[in-house]
Chain A
Amino acid sequence: MKLFLGIIWIVSTLPALLPAQQDSDQRGELQGVVQTVQGETLPGVHLLLPELMRGTNSDREGRFQITDLPAGEYELRVSMVGFRTTTQTVRIEPDRATHLTIELIPLTVEADAVVVTASRRSQLAGRVPVSMSTVTADEIESRNVTSLDQVLHYVPGVQVTGNQVNIRGSSGFAYGVGNRVLLLVDGVPLMGPDQENLDFEGMPFTQVERIEVLKSPGSALYGGGALGGVINLITRDFPDQPQTSIRLISGAWQPVRYEEWRSGWDGADRFRPHSRLTLGHARQLGERFGFWASGMVSTDAGYLQMNRERSGEGYVKFGGSIRDGMDLYLYSGIRRSQREQFLYWNGLNDVLSHGTIDLGTDEVTGANDGLSDRLTVMPVFNHRIGDDLNYSVRGRLFGVAFRPLDDQGNIRPRHTHTYGLRYGGEAQVNSSHLRNTELTGGVSFDANWVESEFFVGEDSLTVRNQPEGALFLQADYQWSDHLTVSTGLRYDAYRVHTREVASRLSPKAGISYSLSRTLTARASYGHGFRVPSVAERFVSNRDFLPLESNVTLRPERSVGYEAGLTHRIPLGDRYGLSTEVTGFWNEYEDLVEPQFDTGQAAFRFVNLTQARIRGVEVTSNLSSIDRTRQIRLSYTWLDAYDRTLDLPLLYRSEHLFQASGRIFVTDWLETGADFRAASQPERVDTDFSRFVPDADVFPTVYVTDLRVRIHYSSLPGIELSGSLHLNNIFDYYYVDRPAFFAPPRNFQAVLDVRF
Chain B
Amino acid sequence: MYSRTENIALALLLLLVISLTGCDGGLEPKPPPLYGAIEGTIIYEGDWPSQESVKDLRFVALREVPAGIEDFLNFETMVIGPRLEYEVEQDHFLIEDVKSATYRYSGVARQFSDQLIDWEPLGLYKENGGVFTVEGDTVRLDIRVDFENLPPFPPE
Contacting B at CB under 8 A, from A333-364, are: 348-349, 351, 357-361
Set A574, A598, A629, A699: member contacting B26, Cβ < 8 A: A699
Is A419 positioned at the interface, with any CB of B under 8 Å from its CB?
no
Contact with B along A584-625 (1 / 0, CB 8 A): 000000000000101111000000000000000000000010
Q: Is the CB of A598 within 8 A of B2?
A: no
Across-interface contacts of A665 in B (CB, < 8 A)? 7
Bound-complex Cα distance A719 to B119 (A): 70
Is A479 positioned at the interface, with any CB of B under 8 Å from its CB?
no
Bound-complex Cα distance A335 to B54 (A): 51
Closest to B114 in A: A361
Is B28 positioned at the interface, with any CB of A under 8 Å from its CB?
yes
Across-interface contacts of A735 in B (CB, < 8 A)? 27
Set A258, A361, A600, A673: member contacting B56, Cβ < 8 A: A361
Q: Is the CB of A661 within 8 A of B76?
A: no
Given contacts A360-B116, A601-B117, A693-B76, contact A699 B27 (CB under 8 A): yes
Is A260 positioned at the interface, with any CB of B under 8 Å from its CB?
yes
Max chain A CB contacts within 10 Å: which of B24, B76, B116?
B76
Q: Is the CB of B22 within 8 A of A351?
A: no
Q: Is the CB of B25 within 8 A of A733?
A: yes
Q: Is the CB of B28 within 8 A of A733?
A: yes
Across-interface contacts of A656 in B (CB, < 8 A)? none
Bound-complex Cα distance A729 to B25 (A): 11
Is A731 positioned at the interface, with any CB of B under 8 Å from its CB?
yes
Bound-complex Cα distance A349 to B32 (A): 7
Q: Is the CB of A631 within 8 A of B13?
A: yes
Contact with A along B7-27 (1 / 0, CB 8 A): 100110110011001101111
Across-interface contacts of B6 in A (CB, < 8 A)? 629
* Closest chain A CB from B61 CB (angstroms): 13
Contacting A at CB under 8 A, from B136-153, are: none
Across-interface contacts of B46 in A (CB, < 8 A)? none
Across-interface contacts of B155 in A (CB, < 8 A)? none
Closest to A703 in B: B21
* Closest chain A CB from B32 CB (angstroms): 7
Bound-complex Cα distance A628 to B1 (A): 10
Set B22, B30, B69, B74: member contacting A704, Cβ < 8 A: B22
Q: Is the CB of A733 within 8 A of B27?
A: yes
Q: Is the CB of A691 within 8 A of B11?
A: no
* Closest chain A CB from B147 CB (angstroms): 22
Q: Is the CB of A704 within 8 A of B21?
A: yes
Closest to B1 in A: A666
Q: Is the CB of B73 within 8 A of A673?
A: no
Given contacts A601-B116, A732-B24, contact A673 B68 (CB under 8 A): no
Q: Is the CB of B25 within 8 A of A732?
A: yes
Contact with A along B41-81 (1 / 0, CB 8 A): 00000000000000010000000000011100111100010
Bound-complex Cα distance A241 to B69 (A): 71
Across-interface contacts of B119 in A (CB, < 8 A)? 360
Across-interface contacts of B17 in A (CB, < 8 A)? 659, 661, 673, 675
Max chain A CB contacts within 10 Å: which of B26, B32, B111?
B26
Contacting B at CB under 8 A, from A197-249, are: none
* Closest chain A CB from B75 CB (angstroms): 5
Is A706 positioned at the interface, with any CB of B under 8 Å from its CB?
yes
Given contacts A348-B30, A733-B27, contact A690 B73 (CB under 8 A): yes
Across-interface contacts of B129 in A (CB, < 8 A)? none
Across-interface contacts of B7 in A (CB, < 8 A)? 663, 665
Q: Is the CB of A601 within 8 A of B18?
A: no
Is B115 positioned at the interface, with any CB of A under 8 Å from its CB?
yes
Is A261 positioned at the interface, with any CB of B under 8 Å from its CB?
yes
Set B11, B25, B32, B69: member contacting A663, Cβ < 8 A: B11
Contacting B at CB under 8 A, from A626-676, are: 628-629, 631, 659, 661, 663, 665, 673, 675
Across-interface contacts of B33 in A (CB, < 8 A)? 349
* Closest chain B CB from A70 CB (angstroms): 48
Given contacts A359-B116, A360-B80, A690-B75, contact A704 B29 (CB under 8 A): no
Bound-complex Cα distance A734 to B28 (A): 9
Q: How large is the interface on B (under 10, 10 to 19, 20 to 34, 35 or more residues)?
A: 20 to 34
* Closest chain A CB from B97 CB (angstroms): 13
Across-interface contacts of A704 in B (CB, < 8 A)? 18, 21-22
Q: Is the CB of B21 within 8 A of A677?
A: yes
Is A80 positioned at the interface, with any CB of B under 8 Å from its CB?
no
Is A702 positioned at the interface, with any CB of B under 8 Å from its CB?
yes
Max chain A CB contacts within 10 Å: which of B17, B70, B74?
B17
Across-interface contacts of B27 in A (CB, < 8 A)? 348, 351, 697, 699, 733-735, 741
Is A692 positioned at the interface, with any CB of B under 8 Å from its CB?
yes
Bound-complex Cα distance A741 to B27 (A): 9
Q: Is the CB of B18 within 8 A of A673?
A: yes
Closest to A689 in B: B76
Closest to B33 in A: A349
Q: Is the CB of A690 within 8 A of B74?
A: yes
Across-interface contacts of A690 in B (CB, < 8 A)? 73-76
Across-interface contacts of A731 in B (CB, < 8 A)? 25
Is A712 positioned at the interface, with any CB of B under 8 Å from its CB?
no
* Closest chain A CB from B9 CB (angstroms): 10
Across-interface contacts of A706 in B (CB, < 8 A)? 18
Is A730 positioned at the interface, with any CB of B under 8 Å from its CB?
yes
* Closest chain B CB from A34 CB (angstroms): 30
* Closest chain A CB from B69 CB (angstroms): 6
Closest to A657 in B: B17
* Closest chain A CB from B55 CB (angstroms): 9
Contact with A along B85-113 (1 / 0, CB 8 A): 00000000000000000000000000100
Contacting B at CB under 8 A, from A672-694, are: 673, 675, 677, 689-694
Q: Is the CB of B18 within 8 A of A663?
A: no
* Closest chain A CB from B70 CB (angstroms): 4
* Closest chain B CB from A731 CB (angstroms): 7
* Closest chain A CB from B153 CB (angstroms): 14
Set B21, B30, B56: member contacting A349, Cβ < 8 A: B30
Given contacts A601-B117, A673-B18, A690-B76, contact A258 B28 (CB under 8 A): yes
Bound-complex Cα distance A673 to B12 (A): 12
* Closest chain B CB from A273 CB (angstroms): 24
Set B14, B24, B32: member contacting A673, Cβ < 8 A: B14
Q: Is the CB of B21 within 8 A of A730?
A: yes
* Closest chain B CB from A303 CB (angstroms): 14
Contact with B along A711-738 (1 / 0, CB 8 A): 0000000000000000001111111000
Across-interface contacts of A546 in B (CB, < 8 A)? 116
Given contacts A258-B29, A673-B17, A675-B18, contact A360 B10 (CB under 8 A): no
Besides the known contacts A360-B80, A663-B14, A691-B75, 15 further A-B residue pairs in the complex with CB atoms under 8 A apart: A258-B29, A357-B75, A358-B75, A359-B75, A360-B119, A361-B56, A361-B116, A574-B2, A596-B70, A598-B73, A631-B10, A673-B14, A677-B21, A689-B76, A702-B26
User: What are 18 contact pairs spanning A and B, CB under 8 A?
Assistant: A348-B27, A349-B33, A358-B75, A360-B116, A361-B116, A598-B73, A600-B117, A661-B17, A675-B17, A690-B73, A690-B74, A690-B75, A691-B76, A694-B30, A697-B27, A699-B27, A734-B26, A735-B27
The 3 A-B pairs of least Cβ separation, nearest first, read A598-B70, A733-B26, A733-B27
| Chain A residues within 8 Å of B, Cβ to Cβ | 258, 260-261, 348-349, 351, 357-361, 546, 574, 596, 598-601, 624, 628-629, 631, 659, 661, 663, 665, 673, 675, 677, 689-694, 697, 699-700, 702-704, 706, 729-735, 741
